[in-house]
Structure 1
């Protein structure tokens, strides 16, 4: 279809959607600054800025003009072909418009303001390991998210389904549960085999002195080598690592460093670089439109986990990278063999902090949060009872009990950011990443050798072609089937983990 056949209504729709995207990018920049460089006393004013901006963005997203244009484009969308760029952009715009027009501007502004203030309360509560500082903020957010979900949910859906649909379109809680049940069973079985093994990784290696300035230098070099473009991005520190896509040519990575723990900074950077490379791989010409946006948070997470775990924690990666790390930290790694280091970074043992958990037990962290979120929204769990219930379930699932609230229910920023329905996407991302990496291995037979030689371009190009360039052409589960030929399943992930840990732990 030539551009001469594109109706004026489509061009005007594109203008409006790009204006909305620019407003969103302003909010992203303010949010990034709040978590990195904003002075503490600026919190109240930042909340007011973000609330006003959210209201303006919502107003732009729900303008009657856009609704009229989408009505005009209905026939054109049907004639363009369901998988065409034009149809995908129109269909997604209609979905977003229908969702946005259901939400009152007052609710959007109140939510944004409460989130900004809640995040500041969360930072203070986490620093003091005191949930009571954050409790009222969480109660307000739960109230507002229930109101939002009540407005958005369709017939036959739960409140949780309505929120999950924002992050993983088309997915329902019962479908997630159907994947999580066999995943939990497989994880517990592997965990028991590891506990029964006589192999004991020397994890004290990772707790030696690793000066943070060198961690930053090393992590930035690693991110650049796998393909993150620092001409279009940067790396900073924060309380909770994240990636923020500001707009074309501007993608911000953040991480946190601990001088006496190597894994946190390095693998945090690889993880966020994976997110950033997805954003940098999107079609700039489709900015603000569905074909220039990521599919879902689960697919987004698959990209970060693929680079962090399937590449960054692999033996081939360290065959190439370990001499560089050893050279940067001779005082800590002198005499430490590659085998010892590789085994240490892949140590499996239940731990308190999700973002520092090993590949295997990480899944149990997500399942716990998934269950608690559903109960909070359904009114089956009160905010005041979260610490006690969290600790009880944590002990049941992982066999260890958090020593304080910072190790427990305050460790994640998500609830303070209003991101309820978000957590399942992390475990879904693990499943997606396993299937994608297996497909890449099938199509790039020498992939392990390339990684061992420090050559990551072919894998990056494969991801660009098969995932990034497709934008929102398919929903997540459909994309997995198109790319891999198979339905989403927990089996490839469990097979990959079984093979890896079987080699390390000798079973």
Structure 2
């Protein structure tokens, strides 16, 4: 086949493969939201079968042959073109896939499905012995995968690259070290501030039906399209793109803690806005998927923290919350805003404030490195977790459910994933700063837009500068084009310092 025909064949093959991936995503969503408990064994078999089929398609020798022919046109085309980006990313995915034996790919999928089910059963009672065999199998298989894929530095790099192309433990270390160095003094200043929030505002009685209604209203206001998505409760919040016109978000509600359901919903809606903003015409191609988990996380953290925890946002939404929750009728705006921006070390990552959140991520990153290096045995994770929690957060979990078993990620095989959360925070700050500059008026003008319930300018800027590109550019290049800056912790620390000095009267 000539280059153009080869490209057309690759595109058709990729779209059909993506349809199968969509079916797998729907099975995962169902497993986490609607599936009856007795169906888990059959679901693991379904997932494994589809994973095997996907692996066969991704490693089909015809893909390699078509890529070789399509490459002939790359030097003649615009380096920023859809053709070049798609071929580049198809080749990257193909070269990774062919290094993983089919049996390993199927075993990984099955272990993840079984592990997540085991975690759901074992977590409520902190039953570590019941969960440990599944985790041991996942760690063993992921180490095997890292060796099969190969790496220049260390095994962790092979797994991290799957989620954040181009990043390694070595490239992340100086960024994370600089961040930690400035976070700890800021946290100490906040803890010593004379002005402190009344956290009890958030632990009053918040009826679940009213929470669901407010969450739905809020995610719709920031731009989530309910004609092309839905929101459901789950054990661990997530967002998933089934395909064009079908993006789903989940959250978990707590009648005695407002933040859990509301900010969980906004966080996942941030992911979903990205997914809904990717052009459906590119479905199945690299230009039709998000570029990385770090960039994806930048969208959720931006909307959750920089928008939904802002004073402008609550100038608009607090009256609506008061209409739904009788317990808020005596609460003033400033008291509520300070409460939702409460800073204090806590045990649960997904409920952590902006200042301490990255300490949770750093802890998990260090534990994952030790696991992949063989310096830490999975059976010793509870003790290692508690030691790290005491060192970084000053807290010892009272039980395993709120400690080493709190996150779904390791049970689902997602080793190498956690650093993308901190990358998301750093990218979010750079994007928010750039959007304020480009839209005019900076942070003050942005606050006024939020107070008026006008979130469209910010969403439009993100659509034009991030969402529309899919994977046309690698993550750091996308961020350079959107913000004009290199990755660093400076914008994030500047944002945190200005915000919390004002809130806490520092």
TM-score, scaled relative to structure 1: 0.98
1:248 is aligned to 2:244: yes
Q: Which residue of 2 aligns with 1:318?
A: 314
Matches within 5 A, 1:457-476: 457-476=456-475
Matches within 5 A, 1:129-208: 129-154=126-151, 156-208=152-204
User: Secondary structure, in 3 states, of the residue corresponding to 1:389?
Assistant: helix
Q: Which residue of 2 aligns with 1:284?
A: 280
Select 1:50's aligned residue among 47, 50, 54: 47
Q: Which residue of 1 aligns with 2:487?
A: 488
Counterpart-to-counterpart distance in 2, 1:401 and 1:220: 36
Matches within 5 A, 1:346-495: 346-445=341-440, 446-495=445-494
User: Secondary structure, in 3 states, of the residue corresponding to 1:246?
Assistant: strand
Select 1:235's aligned residue among 231, 238, 242: 231
Counterpart-to-counterpart distance in 2, 1:120 and 1:488: 37
Q: Which one is further off, 490-499 or 438-447?
A: 438-447
**CA positional deviation for 1:6:** 7.3
Asked whether the 8 Å contact 2:302–2:429 carries over to 1, the reply is yes
What are the superposed Cα offsets for residues 13-66 of structure 1, whole Å, 9 maximum, x if unpaired? 100000111111111000110011111111110000000000001111111111
User: Unaligned 5+ residue runs, structure 2?
Assistant: none
**CA positional deviation for 1:224:** 0.5
User: Secondary structure, in 3 states, of the residue corresponding to 2:302?
Assistant: helix
User: Unaligned 5+ residue runs, structure 1?
Assistant: none
Asked whether the 8 Å contact 2:3–2:70 carries over to 1, the reply is no
User: Secondary structure, in 3 states, of the residue corresponding to 1:275?
Assistant: helix
User: Secondary structure, in 3 states, of the residue corresponding to 1:102?
Assistant: coil
User: Secondary structure, in 3 states, of the residue corresponding to 1:231?
Assistant: helix
Aligned length: 501
**CA positional deviation for 1:447:** 2.3
User: Secondary structure, in 3 states, of the residue corresponding to 1:437?
Assistant: helix
What are the superposed Cα offsets for residues 389-441 of structure 1, whole Å, 9 maximum, x if unpaired? 10111011011111000110101000011110000000000000000000000
Q: Which residue of 1 aligns with 2:205?
A: 209
Q: Which one is further off, 296-305 or 467-476?
A: 467-476
What are the superposed Cα offsets for residues 202-223 of structure 1, whole Å, 9 maximum, x if unpaired? 0001000001111111101100
Q: Which residue of 1 aligns with 2:36?
A: 39
TM-score, scaled relative to structure 2: 0.98
User: Secondary structure, in 3 states, of the residue corresponding to 2:253?
Assistant: coil
1:336 is aligned to 2:334: no
Counterpart-to-counterpart distance in 2, 1:447 and 1:503: 17
What are the superposed Cα offsets for residues 186-245 of structure 1, whole Å, 9 maximum, x if unpaired? 110111001111112100010000011111111011001100001000000110000011
Q: Which residue of 1 aligns with 2:87?
A: 90
What are the superposed Cα offsets for residues 445-497 of structure 1, whole Å, 9 maximum, x if unpaired? 23222111000111111000000111112111111111111111101101100
Counterpart-to-counterpart distance in 2, 1:470 and 1:42: 39
TM-align CA RMSD: 1.0
Structure 1 stretches of 4+ moved >3 Å = none
Counterpart-to-counterpart distance in 2, 1:450 and 1:341: 19
1:99 is aligned to 2:96: yes
What are the superposed Cα offsets for residues 310-351 of structure 1, whole Å, 9 maximum, x if unpaired? 100011111111110111102x11111011110000000000
